[in-house]
Structure 1
Amino acid sequence: MKLFKHALVAGICAVALAGAANAETRVTYKSAKTSSSYYQMGVQIAEAVKAGTNGDIIVTVEESQGSVQNVMEAAVRSGNYVFTTPPALVELAHSGKAMFEGKDNPKFDEIRALFPIPSLTMHFVMRADTGAKTISDLAGKSILLGKGSFGAREGAKYLKIFDLEDKVALASVELNAAVAALKNKQIDGFVTAGSYPAPNVIEAAASTGVTLISMTDDEVGRTKRTKLVIPAGTYAGVDTDTVTTSLPVIAYTTTDMDDATAYELTKTYWEEKAKMGDANPWWNGVDGEMVANIYGKIHPGALKYYDEAGIAVPDRAR
């Protein structure tokens, strides 16, 4: 009887140890609104991580109302919390400025970067028959900016920077009607921001024929945004590179995540990125050089991967 009890206890312990050894690591990924392309990206990352780690890391995607909420939750969330945000918001949280004024929290100092995801990319899309190719060519044209979005705010800012406010006719059409309005010649062009290739720009290029406004380095500098080049051939009929601006977006976590998890998550992301790009081309716009866009420190686990992979990391991020 004693032998049976010992064997039973040993069996239970073996099962428990096996279960512990095979227990998956769970990660929460705070993304964007479910209607956003960035939420879809989060789902793609979750699927890629599950496949790439054979289920050892399971990522659960949570909807968010925006990047500010994502950063604020870093102060109260524990465990493996991953969130996406433009790095500028992490900088504002560290300094307690703008929307973080009076909301200082020492946990903001524990935010650490993992990897870049597709940037918000500005597109000034013009009907090809307008002949518009440069910022100054927008004068005298009717442009749709939309309302309330990052692209609308950024577009309005650029019109002011380049002294075009009184030289451009702003169309009162919703952005979701931009392609139809362009095709019907109700507008000469529209402004949109999102990861490239953007679905509405693909549609416009295929149905109407478009040109993209390309900027000079001086013009990019005046916007105080990050330069980004949309490669020739990204959109039908656009056969030259387009120099434009972007707002980098980074996946961050906190020091609550252990080094091994941060390493595996970062390593798997980069190793699976090519497969994700085969299904969704916006991943093809992400490369190792975008690590330079990170504000703040990179998580030690992620840093280990970058050093192994030979991806350059700025000294300030180490």
Structure 2
Amino acid sequence: MLKKVSSILLVSALVMSLIAGCSPKQSTGGSESGGKKTYISIATGGPAGTYYPLGGAMAKIFNENVDGVTANAQSTGASIENIGLVSKGETEIAFVQNDITYYAFSGTESFEGKEKMENIRGMAMLYPELVQIVATSSSGIKSVEDLKGKKVAIGAPGSGVEANVRQVLAAHGMTYDDLGKADFLSFNEAADQLKNKQIDAAFLTAGVPTSAVTEVAQTSDIVVVPIASEKIAQLAKDYPFYTEVVIPKGTYKGQEADITTAAVMAMLVVPEDLDEDLAYNLTKSLFEKRQVIIDTHTRGNDIQLDTALKGMPIEVHPGSQRYYDEKGVK
């Protein structure tokens, strides 16, 4: 009986040893960790979105260019879930919209009443996600002010899109009360209702071209509504994450002119306590090997060193900042 118990204890000890040996965070010291691997989890989004393929390309860069690192892209629920994963120390790098990062850090909007996530830092700004206002041609809507009295899709409740809508309307002296009806609809729901003329316009925040808008434009006459430069400047003054961008003419069927609009940015967020040398090496390899990202997805062309800090809503990680200082990026 004693031998049987001893055998069980021995097997249990071996199993626990194996589990400990496979821990995803054996080291955080990169190549200085005496041969141990540093495991990097990259929180992205759904497999059908943009974050996931970009995250896979970044994992490839890190694995091939940063000594001692093993990186993997993980599919997640995107920005709001990702920011929580970083704050809890459950991922090392995460894709997040910079407005969501700002809300989480400051405890505002969808994070109001919750503990501020002040243990997060910025690694890099990536590419713009544009605030797109799409209306049916028959609605007569040509400006934000023309949304008064109309049926408008404003995104899901508590979403980044919905916050964008409130802020854009406020910059024009408007609220939801000025709309004929404010519908809380997802991208796909908004697209379907635009096609069926159940709504007059919809707000969407995404990279362009956005498939939901492209789909509507194939079967319906649409108008992409501009946001004036002075209103975008006002937004940027009130909310540091906004930038001015242009939707190039021809982006959507029937779009005959460039359209000025506001944009938030997709960014990479890391934990405050990420090893400084590791953060430096990850940032350096990201930009110096970015052709791998370009070869994977067209958005890779927007990831550029000279815009790596444009729209940064929180403090930059010291390791990343060291690389930007070396390159003169401000």
TM-score by length of 1: 0.70
CA shift in 2, pair 1:270/1:130, >3 Å: farther
Instruction: Give the superposition deviation at 1:92.
Output: 6.1
- Tell me which residue corresponds to 2:243: 227
- Equivalent residue runs for 1:1-318 within 5 Å: 25-32=38-45, 37-50=50-63, 53=65, 57-65=69-77, 67=79, 70-74=82-86, 76-77=88-89, 81-87=92-98, 99=111, 103=115, 108-109=118-119, 111-128=120-137, 130=139, 132-148=141-157, 149-159=159-169, 162=172, 163=174, 165-170=177-182, 175-223=187-235, 224-225=238-239, 226-233=242-249, 234-287=251-304, 288-310=306-328, 312-313=329-330
Distance 1:57 1:202, change over 3 A: farther
Letter in 1 for 2:274: M
Q: CA RMSD in A?
A: 3.8
Asked if the contact 2:187–2:212 (Cα under 8 Å) also holds between the matched residues in 1, the reply is no
CA distance in 1 between partners of 2:294 and 2:112 (Å): 35
- What stretches of structure 2 of length at least 5 have no aligned partner? 1-32
SS of 2:310 mapped into structure 1: helix
Alignment-mate amino acid for residue 28 of structure 1? S
Contact residue 145 and residue 175 of structure 1 kept, 8 A: no
Q: Name the amino acid aligned to 1:166.
A: D
Distance across 2 between alignment mates of 1:122 and 1:196: 10
**C-alpha distance in 1 between matches for 2:226 and 2:162:** 18
Query: In the aligned structure 1, how far is the partner of 2:267 from the partner of 2:171?
Result: 27
Counterparts in 2 of 1:282 and 1:240: CA distance versus 1, 3 Å:
farther
1:27-81 deviation per Cα after TM superposition (whole angstroms, max 9, x unaligned): 122334566543454334324444x528864322334456455445445528x82
CA contact (8 A) 2:149 2:178 kept: no
Residue 309 of structure 2 aligns to a residue in which SS? helix
Cα displacement (A) at 1:168: 3.6
Instruction: Kindly provide the CA deviation profile for residues 77-119 of structure 1, in whole angstroms up to 9, marking residues without a partner as x.
Output: 28x82233445666666667774767478xx45x432111334
SS at structure 1 position matched to 2:152? strand
- Distance in 2 separating the partners of 1:188 and 1:127: 6
What letter corresponds to residue 144 of structure 2 in structure 1? I
Aligned pairs, number: 288
Distance 1:145 1:92 in 2: 18
Q: Would the aligned equivalents of 2:95 and 2:267 in 1 still touch at CA under 8 Å?
A: yes
Q: Residues 216-244 of structure 1, C-alpha deviation per residue, up to 9 Å, x if partnerless?
A: 12322444441231341433443433222
Partner letter of residue 94 of structure 2?
F
Q: Given residue 299 of structure 2, which amino acid in structure 1 is its aligned partner?
A: W
Instruction: Note if contact 1:29-1:42 (Cα within 8 Å) is conserved in structure 2.
Output: yes
CA distance in 1: counterparts of 2:179 and 2:107, whole angstroms: 38
CA distance in 1 between counterparts of 2:202 and 2:106 reads: 35
TM-score (norm 2): 0.68
- In the alignment, structure 1 segments of 5+ residues that lack a partner are 1-19, 314-318
Q: Contact conserved, 1:196 with 1:282, CA < 8 A, in 2?
A: no
Deviations 1:175-196 (A, max 9, x none): 4143343334343332111233
Q: Which residue of 2 aligns with 1:8?
A: none
User: For 1:131-161, what per-residue CA distance to the aligned partner results, in whole angstroms no more than 9, with x for missing partners?
Assistant: 5332123345433334333223432554465
Q: Report the Cα distance in structure 1 between the residues aligned to 2:325 and 2:122, rounded to whole angstroms.
A: 15
CA 1:201–1:55: 2 relative to 1, 3 Å: farther
Tell me, in whole angstroms, the C-alpha distance in 2 between the residues paired with 1:120 and 1:56: 33
**What is the rounded CA distance, in whole Å, between the counterparts of 2:139 and 2:115 in structure 1?**
48
Partners of 1:275 and 1:211 lie apart in 2 by 36
Q: Deviations over 1:256-303 (max 9, x none)?
A: 433443233212322444553454333334443251322343233323
Q: 1:218 to 1:30 in 2, by over 3 A?
A: same
Quote how far apart the aligned CAs of 1:124 are. 0.3
